[in-house]
Amino acid sequence: MNNIAINYRPHIPNSTKRYENPNFRSQSPRLVNLQLLKKCTHLIEFKQIHTQIIKNPTDQPDYFLPKLVESLVNSTHMDYAYQVFKQMLQPTTFVFNTMVRGYALSGVYKDGIQFYIQMQLTGLEADNFTYPFLLKACTDLNQGKGVHSLILKSRGLGSDVYSQTSLVSFYSSHGDLEYARKVFDRIQEKNVVSWTAMITGYVKLKEYTEGLALFYRMQIEGAEINESTLVNVLCACANLGAFEMGKWIHGYIDKNKIFLNSSLATALVDMYAKCGYIRKASQLFDELPQRSVYTWNTIIGGLALHGCGVEALERFKEMQMSGGARPDAITFIGVLSACTHSGMVDKGKEYFNSMLTDYGIEPNIKHYGCLVDLLGRAGQLDEAYQVVQNMPFKPNAVLWGTLLNACNAHANVELAETVMEQLVKLEPYNDGNYVLMSNIYAAKSQWDNVANLRSFMKNKGILKTPGCTSIEVDNVIHEFMVGDSTHPQSKDIYSMLDDVARRLKAVNYLPKTTQVLLDVSEEEKRQALCHHSEKLAIAFGLISTKPKTSIRLMKNLRACGDCHLATKLISKIYDREIIVRDRNRFHHFKDGVCSCNDYW
DNA sequence: TTAGGGTTAG
């Protein structure tokens, strides 16, 4: 940035070209007023007003120039705002604040901070507006901490709720939740924005349980709750799969007649979809009076997650027909993942190729990830590998992981080993990759390699994450670990498991013992599989819910091959729909088949 | 003139 001149140098802009704006015609050409300023959007309109202010001495430049700067900043004409600023004899704190805000919002952070420094040099004192703007111009933790100490030192502003809340947002958006919470706890008179800022901090950093805990406290303390609060709480519910809480929020919205704005509607649709209620999500979506690109993306992505690919593509067509929202890069993540999760390989390729040509959207690494998944699923492993090698991005762990998954599905040891070389470098402690590789070796009966991999993991201290499945029955979440016997109804659960095992045997079910990473006998492997957390949760679901009702589960890992096979059979034997949310997607088991068509 | 909000690849 140039040095900021604060001497008054009259400047009449060159606006020789006449521009006819209908808003201007009815106004007297000499009259400058705020109404007129508010209607300006184009630079030439601002220039005309600027000329009038300078030419007409009765129009009080001291009053109108700051307002002109403000309007220019609001219209993101920063260069011209700076030109006007330079003409001011004594810029006020308001003008400096406005310039700091403008540069921060337009991403020219350094200039924002520079303006604050310049303000101090001119001897002006910061006011309660200064620090929230200045914090927006801070790009790293140290800068923010510097502003924090300035706030503490400033007269009277140490307890200003705006500055304090800005600090909460700053710290949490820079990953320091501990500091954010310290500031939050010290806010004397917390309002709905300060509470929401802290909850948002937790949610953004995936500390969903903490976010919900704070929401409970907020209610106990009788704080006001508004749409923004609920959006964040719903986001936590969606990601935790906390359906009862999410449903309660929906009831709260209805009961308190809270306006379902676009953000809140999106969060609600997303909550239903991520909690496994895709029909409810779709129905709610249909009832919405307005849909933004976010709402469309949520329903398309939600349908994709549930393997409802055809329906997702129908929604995509509907989105385009409606003309209300333009598809963006995220829409295509949903569209491509719909094709992947439903096995529509050719359609997926078509959509990928149409992104740039028909929609002007450059595919990013996530779109390439979807393409690799799509090709991998179809068994086109060489082509998938070619994409990884030739795409315009350096492949990350997700991309290699996608390819490893494809190698597992199509038992390709050779490529899997090449992929693993990369994954060991990028994610040396991700146990899931080693487990997948072990399964690939096991599928080819390469037991030596399985053993080598196991000792490699042991030497590196890499432990397999224990499987954990939860099920919600009558508003209580029951959590099961592998081999768990701590549940109060454990005896009944294991009796039910015996019944399940007997009936599975009767339909010639053979446990997939190759997927067990233990150095034990076949019988012990069978037992281990039988006691996987998913099966324990299903057995509990069978004994604690009414016949023919759906059973809903959530897992911390991907579905294991043996549990997947067993769950398909159980859905048929016991005539139950079983809906499982695993780490990546939903599986709807019904009548012996799964919505994922055995690829996940 | 200030603080908080929705969707995204294994």
Phi-psi region of A582 (alpha: psi -120 to 50; beta: other; left: phi over 0): beta
Query: Residues A450, A493: one domain?
Result: no
User: For residue A525, what pLDDT band results from cuts at 50, 70 and 90?
Assistant: low
- Nearest DNA or RNA nucleotide to A337 (CA to C1'): B9
Residue-wise pLDDT tens digits, A332-381: 999 999 999 888 999 999 999 999 999 999 999 999 999 999 999 999 99
Residue-wise pLDDT tens digits, A199-252: 999 999 999 999 999 999 999 999 999 999 999 999 999 999 999 999 999 999
Q: Taking 90 as the threshold, does the pLDDT of residue A524 lie above it?
A: no
User: How many whole angstroms from its chain centre is CA A343?
Assistant: 25
Token code pair at residue A404: 């490893």
* Pure H helices in A256-344: 262-274, 278-287, 293-305, 309-322, 329-341
- Tell me what pLDDT residue A136 has: 97
Which residues from the 451-480 window of protein chain A have CB within 7 angstroms of nucleic acid chain B? none
- Tell me what pLDDT residue A2 has: 39
- Beta-bridge mates of residue A581: A554, A586
Give, in Å, how far the C1' of B9 lies from the CA of A322: 27
Cα–Cα distance list, A349 to A65, A311, A599 (Å): 55, 18, 18
- Nearest DNA or RNA nucleotide to A341 (CA to C1'): B9
DSSP A89: S
For residues A471-483, average pLDDT: 89
- Tell me what pLDDT residue A515 has: 62
Helix (H) or strand (E) holding A219: helix A208-220
The CATH number that applies at residue A392 is 1.25.40
Q: Which residue has the tokens 């700053």?
A: A170
Final residue of a structural domain among A421, A437, A464: A464
Q: Rounded distance, CA A233 to CA A501, Å? A: 41
Of A49, A6, A57, the C-alpha closest to A24 is: A49
Query: Strand B: which nucleotides have any atom within 7 A of a protein Cβ?
Result: 1-10
A172 C-beta less than 7 Å away from strand B: no
- Tell me what pLDDT residue A526 has: 65
State the nearest residue by CA to the C1' of B8. Answer: A330
The rounded percent of chain A whose pLDDT value lies above 90 is 78
State the nearest residue by CA to the C1' of B2. Answer: A129
- Tell me what pLDDT residue A488 has: 95
Cα Rg, chain A, nearest whole Å? 30
Q: Rounded distance, CA A143 to CA A148, Å? A: 9
**Mean pLDDT, chain A, integer:** 90
User: For residue A1, what pLDDT band results from cuts at 50, 70 and 90?
Assistant: very low
Domain count, chain A: 2
Q: Taking 60 as the threshold, does the pLDDT of residue A468 lie above it?
A: yes
Which residues from the 246-265 window of protein chain A have CB within 7 angstroms of nucleic acid chain B? 261-265
Query: Residues A395, A501: one domain?
Result: no
Q: Taking 50 as the threshold, does the pLDDT of residue A6 lie above it?
A: no
Query: Residues A479, A588: one domain?
Result: yes
State the nearest residue by CA to the C1' of B10. Answer: A402
Q: Rounded distance, CA A386 to CA A388, Å? A: 5
Q: Rounded distance, CA A366 to CA A398, Å? A: 9
In a domain, A357, yes or no: no
User: For residue A477, what pLDDT band results from cuts at 50, 70 and 90?
Assistant: confident
A167 C-beta less than 7 Å away from strand B: no
Query: Residues A579, A499: one domain?
Result: yes
Owning domain of residue A390: 365-464
Final residue of a structural domain among A464, A499, A532: A464
Q: Rounded distance, CA A594 to CA A309, Å? A: 14
Token code pair at residue A430: 């991700």
- Tell me what pLDDT residue A43 has: 81
Query: Residues A475, A588: one domain?
Result: yes
A238 C-beta less than 7 Å away from strand B: yes
* Residues 6+ positions from A33 with CB-CB distance below 8 Å: A27
For residues A574-588, average pLDDT: 96
Query: What is the secondary structure of A113-155 as a DSSP string?
Result: HHHHHHHHHTTPPP-TTHHHHHHHT--SHHHHHHHHHHHHHST
Q: Taking 50 as the threshold, does the pLDDT of residue A25 lie above it?
A: no
Final residue of a structural domain among A424, A449, A464: A464
Residue-wise pLDDT tens digits, A51-88: 888 887 666 667 788 999 999 999 989 999 999 999 89
Which residues from the 349-368 window of protein chain A have CB within 7 angstroms of nucleic acid chain B? 365-366, 368
In a domain, A398, yes or no: yes
DSSP A156: T
- Tell me what pLDDT residue A520 has: 57
Asked whether A450 and A441 are in contact (CB, 8 A), the reply is: yes
